[in-house]
Amino acid sequence: MNAQTKLIATSERKIWPLTGGVHPAENKHQSTGMPIASVPLPETLVLPLLQHAGTPAEPVVAVGDKVLKGQLIARASGVVSAALHAPSSGVITALESRPIPHPSGFSEPCIILTTDGADRWCELAAVNDYRRLPPAELVARIRDAGISGMGGAGFPTALKLSSGLPIHTLILNGTECEPYITADDMLMREQAQAIIAGAAILQYVLGAGQCLIGIEDNKPEAIAAMRAALAESVDADKMEIVVFPTIYPSGGEKQLIQILTGQEVPSGRLPADLGMVVQNVGTAVAVKEAIVDGKPLISRITTLTGAALQKPHNVHALIGTPAHHLLQQAGLHESQLSTLVFGGPMMGFSVDRLDIPVTKTANCLIAATQAEFPAAPDPQACIRCGHCAQACPSSLLPQQLYWHARAENYQQLLHHNLFDCIECGACAFVCPSAIPLVQYYRASKGAIRTLEAKQAQSERSRARYENRLARMAQESAEKEAKRQANAERAARLKAAKAQEQVAEDDPVQAAIARAKARKAAGAPAKVALSGEQKELKIQLSMARAQAKKTERALSACVDDETTKKLTSNLAMLNEQVAKLEQAFEGGSAEVQAEEKRVKIARPALSDDEKKRKVELAMANAAVKKLQRALDGASDDDAATLKQQLADAEQRVAGLKLALEGRL
């Protein structure tokens, strides 16, 4: 089957109807009378760092730098970002905030380039045969060229091309369903071959077997040009031009997929999940230029139209060209200008200044007169006529959304799928009560997003707090368990001793009982240490460690006073260690002595034994405390150390007393 017959055969391709939709007056013929014109080089170009969806680009030039046309001036700053290139040669004269095309009228950081008139290109890296390069390499080149979607949303193109999901269909969007805009129409008429070439590259990159080019039937010249270009192309058998009836908003990504394939992109998912990628025809040309010519994205086709212009037409506009520069080319009657809209009348936004620059997504400037875009009449009450629901392409109930938005009932808004609203404005367009419905939806979406972000944050801190509580509970539980185990062991030891006392007249029995008791208490049978001895041993090792630490602190210490204090501290500790060693050895002897004494005299635990125990425990606690303090000790902790020193002295004194008593 040759290309021609294939074309004819498939021109009967089934299309699916759009849900809802409206038919606003097209007003397209005004700007299609002239070919796409060039514009004299503007003196300055204002290049916002954020012209795409995502994070702003990062400047790689400084004020005063000379740049050539096509040279990188700001690089992509993350995954969802796009690079920016100098649209002409010249000097960077400022990096500052300027008003950007945005509904809010915000100023954002921009690179200001003063052109030198030479319009000199930097060196370009063209690719002769892209099929010899791996797709990943081409995606990298597309990313480096700073290409983002040129239909309106401005999503970085390279990202769309590297979803990692298998793609079977590339859909090229030549719909241009918004009234007034003719940029894509004229592009298809004049550069159909470049579009087809770009589509072929995109298809190769995606590995997509077919490409559907969707065009509304109100552009017969464009359709004819595209058909002719496709017939000549070597890729004709993989591409298909699909013409469908004009209706707004058929050009929405989801809507176009519905019309061409009958499938719906699942809510919250991407077309890639269906194996499809949608690209604007303008983006296809930008891709072709980036790969085949090596040119980054530095200009676009923009429609200049509106009744305040003498000769509405399309222009090749350098990115960053101020709106007034372009409008003057089209013969702006400033006195008649009442509203300047970036984009189309359905989804575009009005701006209040004429020096706002054209960006990568600026497909249209409408210089409208008062009569053309009259101020919206005062909204009246919603009469629930349901015209909005008939018009909604997403099958929402705009009237219900409106009620719930006014009531700020976010749950109901979510229940009515607010986030599936594509903000096409079809509902507001038909509303007989002139209610600015889309505004309500945007505001509600914003409020819900803010609320959700806040909730997520408080959720995170709540989780953190709960984790901490759980950790603390676990720690104290562990401590408690340890304490209990110790207490039990002590009790068992006591019981063993009592048994020994009972069995004092029978040494054999006593020995057996002792061994049993020791086993039960988990104490090593060979080295029979009494409770006091163990505590002494622990205390001893702690005191040693403490002494070592103090030594270390001393060696790191620079301040005289601290050194002095640490030295005396260390001396005290060493003394303590020595005493403890003594006590420990003495204690061992005493155990034997005590055992003997028990056997002979059978006295109960004496009062001063108890006292000694208490004192030992106190000393133990103090040592621990000092150790902890020393753990974190820095040189300037003099005051703390002083306190600790006093503690240690007290403790040592106490210990001395106790040990003397024992000896």
Partner 1 sequence: MALINSRSSIRAGQTSPHKLALNSTQRVMGLLVLATLPGLLAQTVFFGWGTLINVLWCVLIALGCEALVLKLRQRSLAVCLSDCSAVVAGVLLGLALPPFAPWWLSLVAVSFAMIIGKHLYGGLGQNPFNPAMLGYVLVLISFPQEMIAWLPPMGLEGHNNSLSDAAFAIFGSGVDAVSMATPLDVLKENSSLTINELWQANPVFDGMAGRGWLWVNVAYLAGGLFLLWRRVFTWHAPIGMLVAITIMATLFWQGSGSDSHGSPMFHLLSGATMLGAFFIITDPVSGATSNRGRLIFGVGVGIMVYVIRAWGGYPDGVAFAVLLMNMAAPTIDYYTQPRTYGHHRANKGMPKRD
Q: Which x/- pattern over 397-416 shows residues binding ligand SF4 (rule: CB under 6 A)? A: -xx--x--------------
Among 235, 237, 264, 423, binds ligand SF4 (CB under 6 A): 423
Q: Does 431 engage in binding with ligand SF4 (CB under 6 A)?
A: yes
Q: Helix, strand, or coil here: 59?
A: strand
Q: Does 64 engage in binding with partner 1 (CB under 8 A)?
A: no
- Look-up: residue for tokens 């020193």? 645
Q: Which tokens hold the place of 400?
A: 């219900």
CB of 405 to ligand SF4, least distance (A): 11
Cβ-based nearer residue to ligand SF4, 20 or 56: 20
Q: Does 433 engage in binding with ligand SF4 (CB under 6 A)?
A: yes
Q: 547 with 528: CB under 8 angstroms?
A: no
Q: 133 with 389: CB under 8 angstroms?
A: no
Output the CA angle 343-346-351, nearest 5 degrees: 45
Q: Does 438 engage in binding with partner 1 (CB under 8 A)?
A: yes
The 3-state DSSP composition of the chain as helix, strand, coil percent (nearest 5) reads: 50, 15, 35
CB of 263 to partner 1, least distance (A): 10
CB of 27 to partner 1, least distance (A): 9
Among 126, 383, 477, 491, binds partner 1 (CB under 8 A): 383
Report the alpha-carbon distance of residue 224 to residue 54 in Å, rounded.
37
CB of 54 to ligand SF4, least distance (A): 23
Q: Does 443 engage in binding with ligand SF4 (CB under 6 A)?
A: no
Cβ-based nearer residue to partner 1, 124 or 443: 443
Number of residues located near ligand SF4, criterion CB under 6 A: 30
Q: What b/e sequence results for 5-34 when a residue is b if at least 16 CB atoms lie within 10 Å of its CB, and e otherwise?
A: ebbeeeeeeebeebebbbebebbbebbbee
Report the alpha-carbon distance of residue 34 to residue 43 in Å, rounded.
25
**Residues 82/87/93/97 CA torsion (nearest 10 deg):** -40
Q: At what angle do helices 560-601 and 638-662 cross, to 10 degrees?
A: 20
Among 396, 517, 652, 658, binds partner 1 (CB under 8 A): 396
Question: Among residue numbers 539 through 598, which ones bind ligand SF4 (CB under 6 A)?
Answer: none
- Closest alpha carbon to 139 in 164, 174, 172: 164
CB of 396 to ligand SF4, least distance (A): 5
Report the alpha-carbon distance of residue 68 to residue 115 in Å, rounded.
10
Q: Does 354 engage in binding with partner 1 (CB under 8 A)?
A: yes
Q: Helix, strand, or coil here: 18?
A: coil
**Residues 46/52/58/61 CA torsion (nearest 10 deg):** -30
Report the alpha-carbon distance of residue 450 to residue 456 in Å, rounded.
10
Q: Does 394 engage in binding with partner 1 (CB under 8 A)?
A: yes
Q: Does 392 engage in binding with ligand SF4 (CB under 6 A)?
A: yes
CB of 617 to partner 1, least distance (A): 53
Which of ligand SF4, partner 1, none does residue 368 bind to, with CB < 5 to 8 Å depending on kind?
A: partner 1
Cβ-based nearer residue to partner 1, 164 or 266: 266
Among 400, 501, 509, 567, binds partner 1 (CB under 8 A): 400
Which of partner 1, ligand SF4, none does residue 402 bind to, with CB < 5 to 8 Å depending on kind?
A: ligand SF4
Cβ-based nearer residue to ligand SF4, 152 or 425: 425
Which of partner 1, ligand SF4, none does residue 414 bind to, with CB < 5 to 8 Å depending on kind?
A: partner 1
How far CA 118 is from CA of 357, 400, 520, in Å, comes to 21, 58, 97
Q: Which tokens hold the place of 7?
A: 């074309």
Q: Does 393 engage in binding with partner 1 (CB under 8 A)?
A: yes
Which of partner 1, ligand SF4, none does residue 517 bind to, with CB < 5 to 8 Å depending on kind?
A: none
Instruction: Pick the stretch among 84-92, 146-154, 291-299, 351-359 that binds partner 1 (CB under 8 A).
Output: 351-359
Give the list of residues 6+ apart from residue 636 with CB closer than 8 angstroms, or none: 559, 562
Q: 50 with 361: CB under 8 angstroms?
A: no
Number of residues located near partner 1, criterion CB under 8 A: 78
Question: Among residue numbers 482 through 511, which ones bind partner 1 (CB under 8 A)?
Answer: none
| Radius of gyration of the chain from its Cα atoms, rounded to whole angstroms | 42
Report the alpha-carbon distance of residue 180 to residue 28 in Å, rounded.
5
CB of 347 to ligand SF4, least distance (A): 9
Instruction: Pick the stretch among 60-68, 281-289, 428-436, 510-518 that binds partner 1 (CB under 8 A).
Output: 428-436
Cβ-based nearer residue to ligand SF4, 210 or 409: 409
Among 172, 225, 427, 557, binds ligand SF4 (CB under 6 A): 427
Among 425, 530, 543, 576, binds ligand SF4 (CB under 6 A): 425
Q: From edge to edge, which strands make up the β-sheet containing 90-99?
A: 44-48, 107-115, 90-99, 66-67
Which of ligand SF4, partner 1, none does residue 429 bind to, with CB < 5 to 8 Å depending on kind?
A: partner 1
One-letter amino acid identity for 478?
E
Instruction: Pick the stretch among 62-70, 160-168, 262-270, 599-607 that binds partner 1 (CB under 8 A).
Output: 262-270
Among 215, 391, 493, 619, binds ligand SF4 (CB under 6 A): 391
